[in-house]
Amino acid sequence: MKRRTLKRLRPGHQPRHHHHVYVVLLKPAVGRIRKVRAENPKRDSKQPCVYVGMTGLTPADRFANHKAGIKAASVVKRYGLRLLPALYEHLNPMPFEAAAQMERDLAEDLRRAGYTVTGGH
C-alpha cells in the first residue's frame, strides 16, 4: 500500500483572496474601560462600541471562536454581542496584505465617524 502524505490529503489549493475584515458590536460597558476611552478621545456616546478584526476564516466562524475563547480578544469574548455585516460585507474577501491594511483603515474611519473602536491593529 502506498503511503499517503499530508500534502495529498489536504483539500485543493485555497483561493488567494480568502481573508476578511469584520466588525463586532460590543456592549456599551466597553466605553467605561480606561484604555478604550484613551484610544477614542473623540468618541460620540450616541455611536456604538465596536471591535474591528481580520481573519482567514469567515467572519461568523471567527466570531464564534471569539465567544468560545479560541484565540479570543478578551473584549469580544466578554462584551461581544453580534457581527455588524453592513459595515464590512462589501469589502470581503481580499488577499492578506489588503486585509491587514483594510483593518487599520476601517478602524480609523469608524473612529472618525464617532464610533468607540477597539482592535484594528
**pLDDT value at position 26?**
97
Structural domain count, the chain: 1
Q: What is the DSSP letter of 31?
A: G
pTM of structure: 0.86
**pLDDT value at position 23?**
97
- Cell 455585516 found at: 85
20-26/80-83 β-pairing: antiparallel
The three-point CA angle 9-14-17 to 5° equals: 170
Task: Judge whether 9 lies within some domain.
Answer: no
Task: Judge whether 81 lies within some domain.
Answer: yes
For 50, the domain range is 25-119
Sign of CA dihedral 95, 100, 101, 104: positive
Task: Judge whether 111 lies within some domain.
Answer: yes
Task: Judge whether 19 lies within some domain.
Answer: no
Task: Judge whether 7 lies within some domain.
Answer: no
- Per-position pLDDT tens, the chain of length 121: 555 555 555 555 555 788 999 999 999 999 999 999 999 999 998 999 999 999 999 999 999 999 999 999 999 999 999 999 999 999 999 999 999 999 999 999 999 999 999 998 8
Listed in sequence order, the DSSP H helices in 1-121 are 6-9, 34-39, 59-68, 74-79, 96-112
Task: Judge whether 1 lies within some domain.
Answer: no
Task: Judge whether 109 lies within some domain.
Answer: yes
Task: Judge whether 43 lies within some domain.
Answer: yes
